[in-house]
């Protein structure tokens, strides 16, 4: 390989240990609310690192939490912010919803380290506002 074609292979990504710590904090927040939820942490490529489905949480909430986590990781932005972007741009309004794992429902938060997205956390099981609060608690545990 030519020295002119350097390949950069080093990047940061959400670890299993960090994902488990985030989900534990999120489960604690959901328990404090008394609401069974599902939480998923994905790496920067949108691949699942860890999941937690609380007793009593609907099985459907796992899929919804994954889509929120995936969208946040892929866009490096909270799902609620992505909704504002998509609805403000006709091309995005027409194309983005066709992505298989795309979600603009609040409750997906990216995990950022030094300005770079290393993963995302998604939460589902309550209203979008409560899902968001639990996701924020999960990500905040990594920044404490």
Could you read off the pLDDT of 79-127 as tens digits, one per residue?
988 877 777 767 666 666 667 887 888 999 999 999 999 999 999 999 9
The fold for domain 16-142 equals Beta-Lactamase (3.30.450)
Distance between CA atoms of residues 3 and 129, nearest Å: 51
Q: Which residue(s) pair with 117 in the sheet?
A: 112
Residue 94 is predicted with a pLDDT of 66
116 φ/ψ sector (left φ>0, alpha ψ -120 to 50, else beta): beta
Q: Where are the domains of the chain?
A: 16-142
Q: Is pLDDT above 80 for 9?
A: no
């Amino acid at each position: 390989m030519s020295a002119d074609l350097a390949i950069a292979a080093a990047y940061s990504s959400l670890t299993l240990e960090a994902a488990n710590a985030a989900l534990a904090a999120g489960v604690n927040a959901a328990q404090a609310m008394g609401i069974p939820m599902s939480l998923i942490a994905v790496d920067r490529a949108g691949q699942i690192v860890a999941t937690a489905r609380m007793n009593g949480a609907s099985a459907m909430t796992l899929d919804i939490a994954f889509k929120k986590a995936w969208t946040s990781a892929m866009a490096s932005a909270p799902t609620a912010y992505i909704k504002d972007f998509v609805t403000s741009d006709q091309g995005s309004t027409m194309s983005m919803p066709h992505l298989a794992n795309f979600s603009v429902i609040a409750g997906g938060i990216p995990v950022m380290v030094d300005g770079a997205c290393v993963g995302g956390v998604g939460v589902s099981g309550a209203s979008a506002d409560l899902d968001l609060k639990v996701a924020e608690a999960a990500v905040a545990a990594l920044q404490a």
